[in-house]
Amino acid sequence: MGSLFRASKTLKIRKYLSPLSSINNPFDAFGLSQRYCSHSRQNSKESAPIDLSRYPIEKIRNFSIIAHVDHGKSTLADRLLELTGTIKRGHGQPQYLDKLQVERERGITVKAQTATMFHRHKSRGCDEPSTFLLNLIDTPGHVDFSYEVSRSLAACQGALLVVDAAQGVQAQTVANFYLAFESNLTIIPVINKIDQPTADPDRVKAQLKSMFDLEPSDALLTSAKTGQGLEHVLPAVIERIPPPPGSSGSPLRMLLLDSYYDEYKGVICHVAIVDGALRKGDKISSAATGQAYEILDVGIMHPELTPTGVLLSGQVGYVVTGMRSTKEARIGDTLYHTRTTVEPLPGFKPAKHMVFSGLYPADGSDFEALNHAIERLTCNDASVSITKESSTALGLGFRCGFLGLLHMDVFHQRLEQEYGAHVISTVPTVPYIFEYSDGSKVEVQNPAALPSNPKKRVTACWEPTVIATIIIPSEYVGPVITLCSERRGQQLEYSFIDSQRAFMKYRLPLREIVVDFYNELKSITSGYASFDYEDSEYQQSDLVKLDILLNGQPVDAMATIVYNLKAQRVGRELVDKLKKFIDRQMFEITIQAAIGSKVIARETISAMRKNVLAKCYGGDITRKRKLLEKQKEGKKRMKRVGSVDIPQEAFHQLLKVS
């Protein structure tokens, strides 16, 4: 019976076999063998490793693209990747190097990205064209992420300074130019968006000459959208930008530019090889931590991670070392071969946190979930500082330090989008320094940590300031000067770029610009102003701590430090806002703004009351008075034990006021 079953099964299979196939080769039964072999041959051809030894230092160019926000950096990077065949034309994903969802939604670059391209070019004095290795770094344009730009420029020898042909030189154009200029980079001006109806390349050339002393004849006219003029960009990069310095015969030294966490590979580090060569299996050490690691994978971004097995002097790529946390990968660190002695490379200044804010779970029971989400996110954003704290009003949470207000906003958005976390954020503050009568000084990042009635008298206060650069159309000069004066600004410089645009520099307290200064500036200039700032020194100021009290109890999450002369107005606005957003209770709620023991503003939310006199149809007045007194006693008892819930909307409104 068994043999009959096997025979019938064989006959059924033979029905599906092609005449040339054999039962001994099951793939051939369905004609798969030939297809499988050709597919594997094709894969092996595609995945053939790139031979980086064909690219000595003189055939390598490292450059970045720098510009003001929305001047077309990422679109230009897309076109260059298409021109060199790194990505296919019409890949269906504009701004290819903008990987994050928040970058695509907002149309901004948050994280600097690297891509390696190969381009054939016939150099002057050469008979045959040769292939060059080009490392492109697309950088952010917003002021909050200038730290990313400075790190990117450290791996480059040149930069494309992209300027919008219609908008001209903007504030961040100025800041990024000086970052590149101080790094001694070769700067190639690129005037982009020349296809726009309002484009005026000649005016932009004149601005570049007057502000940066860049020759108008050196500027390249392009349109990244239509592709016009792009054929001149890469030849200019190869001809004008020098090859990277370094010696392939020296001991290995590489600069750690950036790192991020991958769930499968662990920490992936972006590095620039300054001297020597790095191969898979090498043992390396960190100059900052002294830890030793083994190179598990090494390669280039072409444009995704492409293993090459080796990185040579002057090249930019990635390494996987088995690090378990991005805290081990210190940005600006020098990595070198274990058991060799090298001179560490000059690193970067550590990221300076300009804005501090408290983050609390919207539901107190979600603290562990928020903790896990923040840990995961900080694996890919090491520029955020995190410390745990607790608030009597909001429970357990975190004190976070950010590079700026947009950085804070992007961090919140990524928490919600990528990890589904719902958070309450407190009013952003800046770090202050307070000096007491005994000569001791203390830095205060959280206003709640400053005692309202200290035992020691405060003798002096200092607050951080910034040097702000503002470029505006000349007809808006008056309103902008008024705005800066209201924000306690001190004018440092005032000049005209050309007949239509003014250039202004102000020293402003950081606290005055940290919440809504940029929005107001855009509003009064019809959106034409551009704004940039860099941190400056601390200046002495008259500051006080403003407390918000609910039924006499301070709400630590709402405490803030304000300028003394503005305390009355800010206190009045805060209590007015809170009155609108706190729900009525069965007992009376008093909302007060106080400086120390002095109350400077007050609002009262009256209690919801039952009409206890409804059942009295006449009778003696003492009966009614007795019922009202009894109700009054009950309300007092409720007020003693009742608690006031502060809705999330109230915190969002406070963000707009203070």
Please check if 193 is assigned to a binding site.
yes
Q: Are strands 266-275 and 253-262 parallel, antiparallel or unpaired?
A: antiparallel
Q: Give, as one character, the DSSP assignment of residue 404.
A: S
Q: Is 192 annotated as a binding residue?
A: yes
Q: How far, in Å, CA of 115 to CA of 96, rounded?
A: 10
Distance CA 55, CA 573 (A): 64
CB 187 within 8 A of CB 177: yes
Task: Name the nearest CA neighbour of 350 among 380, 374, 382.
Answer: 382
CA distances from 220 to 69, 70, 161, 243, 619 (A): 19, 18, 10, 21, 96
Query: Based on C-alpha coordinates, what's the Rg of the chain?
Result: 32
Q: Is 139 annotated as a binding residue?
A: yes
DSSP 201-253: HHHHHHHHHHHH---GGGPEE-BTTTTBTGGGHHHHHHHHSPPPP--TTSPPE
Q: Is the CB of residue 317 less than 8 Å from the CB of residue 297?
A: no
Instruction: State yes or no: 155 annotated in a binding site.
Output: no
**652 marked among binding-site residues:** no
Is the Cβ–Cβ distance between 237 and 61 less than 8 Å?
A: yes
- Rounded to whole angstroms, the Cα distance separating 504 from 75 reads 30
| β-pair type (530-541, 501-509) | unpaired
Give yes or no for a contact between 328 and 76, defined as CB atoms under 8 angstroms apart. Answer: no
The DSSP letter of residue 36 is H
Q: Is 70 annotated as a binding residue?
A: yes
Both tokens of 167, joined, read 């908008």
- 171-182 and 146-153 helices, crossing angle to 10°: 30
**Residue 138 labelled as part of a binding site:** yes
25 is in an annotated binding site: no
Is 186 annotated as belonging to a binding site? no
CA 53 to chain centre: 36
* 142 annotated binding-site participant: yes
Q: What is the DSSP letter of 331?
A: T
105: Cα separation from own chain's centroid: 14
Q: State yes or no: 202 annotated in a binding site.
A: no
Q: Is 551 annotated as a binding residue?
A: no
Q: In the chain, count of helices (H) and strands (E)?
A: 17, 31
In order, the DSSP letters of 95-160 are STT--SHHHHHHT---S-EEEEEEEEE--TT-SS-EEEEEEEEE---SGGGHHHHHHHHTT-SEEE
Structure-token match 């106080």, residue found: 594
**Any known ligand binding at 364?**
no
The answer to whether 354 touches 464, Cβ cutoff 8 Å, is yes
Q: Any binding-site annotation on 232?
A: no
In angstroms, the CA 338 to CA 291 distance is: 10
**CA 517 – CA 514 distance, rounded (Å):** 7
195 is in an annotated binding site: yes
- Distance between CA atoms of residues 439 and 228, nearest Å: 65
* Binding annotation: 67-74, 138-142, 192-195
* Binding annotation for GTP: 67-74, 138-142, 192-195
